[in-house]
Structures are given as structure tokens and as C-alpha cells.
């Protein structure tokens, strides 16, 4: 059952990812991205990472995507115009990509000759309770310091978006 | 079960510089919202905040140790770089007062952004955990992206910020991917534990190499080492002059600090494999920086290429991979920060409103118009060349000495040839200042430099000369604190 679900959602994620790149209109690309995010959330859930799955749905599938779509609509972005690619990219792009993936796969195979399959449902460390405990004990400092990062992001938006320097 | 996770009070005090900087930054932002009229006093508050953080850093050094579950470690090395970036921030704020006034951009956000950026750089200098490294790097970088585009109505600023942001985010992605690989290989993000995990010999070497290479790309971008240096001249040329001074000194020193710490701690057991790569990068960085600088006519762009070349000299010290190599790099970064801030502070004065005069020929006849400023500029340029009695001389001297100690004869010879080539374009600056007549008579006379700017320039000049006449004071501290990186 788990394996069947994994295959279904893995295929959905990959197809949506391809669709994202191939679509001409930004809205269609954004909608495909929602598909990728959603299927990734299911994959996390299958691995036992409940909290990450929920965060993925709420933060990426929800908030970030709404922002994307909102910005696209606000800017009234039209269809993508195909820019002329360089002859090198047109000719060698796809073969080089395939070669890169093949080399990477070869190295990973060679480096880890005994790849074990993932067993679904054996890992239970992904609950909100466990993550909360680690976050507020061992990773307390990074957790707190990230607030400064968010503050700078807000400050930057204010600085760059204000009307003019007085 | 939570008892041993409760941070002791001494741990908060070790982290006090960052806390103070953040608090002062937030205070400035709140005051900015309610203040009308002149905002100069916000800069004074920022200066007080940095001075307080500096004092807290000194206290933390004498009560050093790890804090917050080994996330940060206050040792001599961390305290040195924390102090250095604080000094850089102090001088850059001083130099910015009159500049912001002139460009009608006197707002509190500038000072708040510098303080927050310093928080990131302080974290970078002291962190011993890759999660903290990433957060520190992001805080420092995002603040500097915004600073690069601070003068929003200036198209050069916009170009600079956009290029810096896009390429910087791309490099950060490499770093993050490397951290993910490391965590996958060792199950830890702590630098010491990574070293222990990697030396057990159970991980395939190819994957360790991949992870190290990804981290290397991320760091090399931040310190503008070839082949990841292309952004540097464009960003330095476009950003406002005081911001460029900050970019070339503070973030670079902090990024070098963590670059050394990560590679000389976690990947030290594999140094035979990655040191040849660093050797090549050091040479390529020097050659690209120096030869490209020969062709420049814009002073800011010229100094941008020169900063690439100087990163190459620091990489020589990195290649030495010894205690004296690390100490030499620390000394070099300190003296480079001072002379570069001084040079950029003078340029921000000469450039005039809207930075119109940033060509080499605009310097013509400056020696007669402004004898004092010209003499100070000469001090900084001599230090950049590496003339004795300046900090730059001893910086280069110690770097090459460290390289010879590690039997890097060829790299030393090539480095010396490079610094001889560099003298040519630095002397072009002085030639324009003292030997050339202004081409047009319409050279407007510059207003007298503001007292705050003069203080910044004089302080940098005195610091540069101090490092050149009494180098042992700083060097002995540096070599003492570089002891963990052998």
C-alpha cells in the first residue's frame, strides 16, 4: 500500500515539475508547482515526517503559493516569450543534462554499493512533539536568531519599496 | 530531562555582542518611525551600540568557551574576527554620515541594516555549527544586498543590488546543498563531530569530496575567489561608496573566518586532497584580479579588482594550512580592512554629489587642491601596494613567510610577481593625484570634508600605520588564537 502511494505521488511530483518548466503561462506554472508541493507533502508523510508534511502544506502549498499567484496576477504577467537560445544550449543542452545525471547516478551507485530500500513506517521521530523538543533545547539559538533574519527581510522590503528618499 | 539544556547565564553573556547589536538595531528602527527632521543622532546611537558590543566582545573573550549546545564557541580566533568586523562597522558608519547627508538619504534604516549585518558577521566569526553558519551568512548577506541598493533612485545602485542578490542567492544554495550532504554523511552539523564522523572511514570519499566542493563553492563566492569572483567589480562599482567600503571589509573578513574554520577543522584530515585546489584558486584569483585591474579607469572598479587580488593573497595563507598561515591571514584581513575603508572613505568624499567623479582622471591635480586628503590617500595606496611602514607590507610579509614555511616556493614566487604587477595600477592613482594637471578648468572645488568623515579617514590611516610599525602586538594575539588551526 505504502509503495503504491509512493509511486503514484512520486510520478505526480515529477510530471508536475516537468509541466512547471514547459508551460508558457506563469499561472499554469504556478499551479503545477502546487502539485509538486502537495505530492512532496504526501511523500514526507509516508516517511513518517508528519510535522514537515504539515508545514509543507501550510507554508509552501498555502502561503508561498498564494503569494506567487498574487504577484503574478498583480503584475499581470503575460505568456512567456521564447528568447532565442544560443546554438550551444540548443544543441548540447539535453545530451549534457543526460550525461550529468548518468555520471551522478554512477558515482552514487559506486559509492554506496549496498543501497537498501526505504521501509515505510519504521521511523517515528517526525511528530510535532519531538521536533518541538529538539527545537527548544538543542537548537534554541538558531531558532531565536532566525527572527533577526525575518526582521531584516521586512526592513529590506520597507527600504526598497518606499516611494522615494526624502 | 530539560535540566541540562537550560543555558547558563555565562552563555548569554558570551552571546551578548550579538544581543546588543540586535537591540540597538531595533531601537533605531523604532526611533526612525517617530523622529522628524535630522536623523544623524540615529547614527550616533548605532556607534554607541557598536562600542558596547565591542566591550562585550572583550569581556566574552576573557570568559570564553562554548555556548548554547556548542552552537557557538568564543575563542581567541572568534573574538578577533568579531572585534574586527565591529571596528569595520564603526568606521563605515562614521564615513557614511556626510555621504548620506549629501545624497539626501539620511535615514535610520541604513544604520539599522549595518548593525543587523554585523550581527550576522559576528555569528559567522564564532559559530561552530553549520546551521549557525548558514543563518549567520544569510543575515549578513541579505542585509548587504539591501545596503547595495540603498539609494533606490540611483540606477547604478539597483543594478548592483540585483546582481549581488541573484548571484549571492545562487551561491548560498550551493552552500546549503553541501550542508545537507554533510548531514547525510555524518548525521551532525557540528564541525568537530563532522571531523570525527568523517575520519571513521565508512563514508565514500567521492561523496565527502562532493560535499566539501559544494561548501567550497559557497564560501569562495562570498570571499570573491576565482572562479567565483565575477560579481565583485560590478557590485563594488554600483553600490554607494561607504557601502562598498563595508562590503569589501566586513562580510569578507567574516566569510574568510568561517571558511578557514570549516575547512581547517572538519576537512583537515583530507587536506592533501583539497589543498592543491586551493593552490590553484589562490593563483587564479591573484592573476585575474591584478591583470583586470590594470585596464580599469573607474577607481571603484579598480579597487574592486584589487580586492579580488587581495583575496588571492589570503588564499596563499590558506594554502599554507598552518598555525602561522592562519595567523598571517588574520593579520592580513585586519590591515586590508583598515586601508580599504580609508581609501573608499576618501573616494566617497572626492566623488562629489551623485558620485560623478569616480574616474581616474578626476583625481588629476588633487594633490594641489587637497594636500592633506591626498597625503592620506597616498598612505592607503602605499599600504595596498605593500610598502614598508604600512600594515599592507607586514600583511604580505607574513603571508609569504607562512607560505615558505609550508614549502610553497612556487606560489610565493608567483605571489611576489603579482604584487609587483599590482604596484603599477596603484601607482597610476598616485600619478594622477600628484603629477597630472586637471584636463578641464571647470573642476568644481570640493566642500571641506565633514569632521566625522575626517575622523574615519584619520583613524584608518593611524590604524594602517600602527600595524606597519608595531605589527607584533596584533600578530602575537593572532598566532596565539590561531593555535587550533594547525
Highest mean pLDDT among A98-102, B17-21, B438-442: B17-21
Return the H-helix or E-strand segment holding B136: helix B130-148
Of A137, A145, A148, nearest to B2 by CB-CB distance is A137
- Provide the number of CB pairs (under 8 Å) joining chain A to chain B: 93
Is the CB of A165 inside 8 Å of chain B's CB atoms?
yes
Return the H-helix or E-strand segment holding A27: helix A26-47
Q: Using an 8 Å CB-CB cutoff, list chain B residues near A156.
A: 113, 142-143, 145-146
Q: For the segment B5-51, what is each residue's pLDDT rounded down to a tens digit?
A: 788 889 999 999 999 999 999 999 999 888 887 888 999 999 999 99
Q: Using an 8 Å CB-CB cutoff, list chain A residues near B99.
A: none
Whether the per-residue pLDDT at B365 is higher than 90: the answer is no
Beta carbons within 8 Å of A57's beta carbon, 6+ residues apart? A37, A38, A41
Compute CA distances A70 → A74, B102, B171, whole Å: 6, 38, 28
Whether the per-residue pLDDT at B2 is higher than 80: the answer is no
Cell of B248: 569589501
CA angle B314, B137, B210 (to 5 degrees): 70
Alpha-carbon distance B335 to B441, whole Å?
Answer: 37
Q: What is the pLDDT of residue B333?
A: 96
Alpha-carbon distance B327 to B315, whole Å?
Answer: 13
Place of cell 529590506: A156
Which candidate, B46, B57, B58, places its Cα nearest to that of B22?
A: B46
Of B109, B119, B132, nearest to A159 by CB-CB distance is B109
Which of B16, B37, B143 is best to mutate for the A interface (most A CBs within 10 A)?
Answer: B143
Q: For the segment B225-283, what is each residue's pLDDT rounded down to a tens digit?
A: 988 999 999 999 999 999 999 999 999 999 999 999 999 999 998 888 899 999 999 99
Judged by CB atoms closer than 8 Å, whether chains meet at A160 and B146 is answered as: yes
Q: What is the pLDDT of residue A165?
A: 54
**What average pLDDT does the structure give for chain B?**
91
Q: Using an 8 Å CB-CB cutoff, list chain A residues near B207.
A: 107-108, 111-112
Is the CB of A138 inside 8 Å of chain B's CB atoms?
yes
Cell of B145: 544586498
Alpha-carbon distance B178 to B120, whole Å?
Answer: 20
Instruction: Report yes or no for ipTM above 0.95.
Output: no
Give the gyration radius of chain B's Cα atoms: 22
Which residues does residue B129 pair with via DSSP β-bridges, in sequence order? B190
Q: What is the pLDDT of residue B1?
A: 44
Helix axes B76-102, B323-350, angle to 10 degrees: 10
Asked if B256 and B314 touch (Cβ cutoff 8 Å), the reply is yes
Amino acid at each position: 500500500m505504502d509503495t503504491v502511494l509512493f509511486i503514484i505521488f512520486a510520478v505526480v511530483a515529477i510530471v508536475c515539475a516537468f509541466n512547471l518548466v514547459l508551460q508558457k503561462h506563469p499561472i499554469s506554472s504556478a499551479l503545477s508547482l502546487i502539485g509538486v508541493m502537495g505530492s512532496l507533502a504526501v511523500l514526507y508523510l509516508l516517511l513518517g515526517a508528519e510535522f514537515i508534511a504539515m508545514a509543507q502544506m501550510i507554508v509552501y502549498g498555502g502561503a508561498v503559493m498564494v503569494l506567487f499567484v498574487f504577484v503574478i496576477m498583480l503584475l499581470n504577467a503575460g505568456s512567456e516569450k521564447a528568447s532565442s537560445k544560443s546554438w550551444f544550449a540548443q544543441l548540447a543542452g539535453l545530451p549534457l543534462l543526460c550525461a550529468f545525471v548518468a555520471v551522478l547516478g554512477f558515482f552514487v551507485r559506486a559509492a554506496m554499493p549496498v543501497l537498501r530500500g526505504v521501509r515505510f513506517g519504521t521511523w517515528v521521530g517526525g511528530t510535532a512533539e519531538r521536533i518541538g523538543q529538539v527545537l527548544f533545547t538543542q537548537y534554541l539559538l538558531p531558532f531565536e536568531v532566525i527572527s533577526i533574519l525575518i526582521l531584516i527581510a521586512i526592513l529590506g522590503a520597507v527600504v526598497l519599496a518606499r516611494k522615494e528618499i526624502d | 530531562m530539560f535540566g541540562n539544556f537550560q543555558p547558563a547565564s555565562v552563555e548569554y553573556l558570551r552571546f551578548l555582542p550579538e544581543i546588543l547589536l540586535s537591540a540597538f538595531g531595533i531601537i533605531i528602527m523604532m526611533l526612525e518611525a517617530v523622529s522628524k527632521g535630522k536623523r544623524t543622532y540615529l547614527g550616533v546611537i548605532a556607534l554607541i551600540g557598536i562600542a558596547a558590543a565591542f566591550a562585550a566582545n572583550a569581556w566574552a573573550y576573557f570568559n570564553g568557551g562554548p555556548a548554547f549546545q556548542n552552537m557557538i564557541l568564543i575563542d581567541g580566533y572568534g573574538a578577533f574576527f568579531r572585534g574586527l568586523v565591529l571596528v569595520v562597522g564603526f568606521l563605515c558608519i562614521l564615513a557614511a554620515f556626510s555621504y548620506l547627508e549629501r545624497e539626501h538619504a539620511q535615514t535610520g534604516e541604513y544604520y539599522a541594516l549595518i548593525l543587523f549585518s554585523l550581527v550576522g558577521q559576528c555569528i559567522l566569526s564564532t559559530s561552530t555549527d553549520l546551521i549557525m553558519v548558514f543563518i549567520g551568512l544569510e543575515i549578513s548577506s541579505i542585509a548587504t544586498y539591501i545596503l547595495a541598493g540603498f539609494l533606490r533612485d540611483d540606477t547604478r545602485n539597483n543594478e548592483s543590488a540585483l546582481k549581488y542578490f541573484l548571484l549571492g542567492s545562487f551561491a548560498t544554495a550551493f552552500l546549503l546543498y553541501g550542508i545537507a550532504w554533510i548531514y547525510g554523511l555524518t548525521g551532525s552539523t557540528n564541525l568537530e563531530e563532522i571531523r570525527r564522523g568523517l575520519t571513521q572511514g565508512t563514508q565514500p570519499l567521492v561523496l565527502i569530496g562532493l560535499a566539501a566542493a559544494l561548501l567550497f563553492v559557497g564560501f569562495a563566492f562570498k570571499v570573491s575567489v576565482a572562479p567565483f569572483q565575477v560579481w565583485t567589480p560590478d557590485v563594488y562599482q554600483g553600490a554607494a561608496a561607504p557601502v562598498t567600503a563595508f562590503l569589501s571589509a566586513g562580510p569578507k573578513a567574516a566569510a574568510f573566518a568561517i571558511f578557514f574554520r570549516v575547512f581547517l577543522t572538519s576537512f583537515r584530515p583530507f587536506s592533501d586532497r583539497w589543498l592543491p585546489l586551493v593552490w590553484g584558486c589562490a593563483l587564479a584569483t591573484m592573476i585575474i584580479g591584478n591583470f583586470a585591474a590594470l585596464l580599469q579607469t573607474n577607481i571603484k572598479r579598480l579597487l574592486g579588482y584589487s580586492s579580488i587580488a587581495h583575496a588571492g593573497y589570503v588564499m596563499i595563507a590558506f594554502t599554507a594550512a598552518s598555525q602561522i598561515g592562519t595567523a598571517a591571514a588574520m593579520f592580513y584581513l585586519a590591515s586590508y580592512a583598515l586601508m580599504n575603508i580609508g581609501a573608499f572613505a576618501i573616494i566617497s568624499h572626492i566623488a562629489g554629489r551623485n558620485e560623478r567623479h569616480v574616474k581616474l582622471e578626476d583625481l588629476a591635480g588633487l594633490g594641489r587642491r587637497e594636500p592633506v586628503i591626498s597625503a592620506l590617500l597616498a598612505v592607503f595606496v602605499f599600504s595596498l601596494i605593500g610598502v614598508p611602514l604600512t600594515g599592507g607590507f607586514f600583511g604580505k610579509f607574513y603571508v609569504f613567510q607562512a607560505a615558505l614555511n609550508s614549502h610553497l616556493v612556487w606560489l610565493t614566487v608567483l605571489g611576489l610577481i603579482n604584487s609587483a604587477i599590482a604596484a603599477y595600477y596603484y601607482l597610476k592613482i598616485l600619478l594622477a593625484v600628484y603629477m597630472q594637471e586637471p584636463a578641464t578648468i571647470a573642476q568644481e572645488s570640493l566642500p571641506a570634508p565633514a569632521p566625522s568623515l575626517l575622523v574615519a579617514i584619520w583613524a584608518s590611516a593611524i590604524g594602517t600605520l600602527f600595524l606597519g610599525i608595531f605589527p607584533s602586538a596584533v600578530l602575537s594575539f593572532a598566532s596565539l588564537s590561531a593555535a587550533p588551526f594547525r
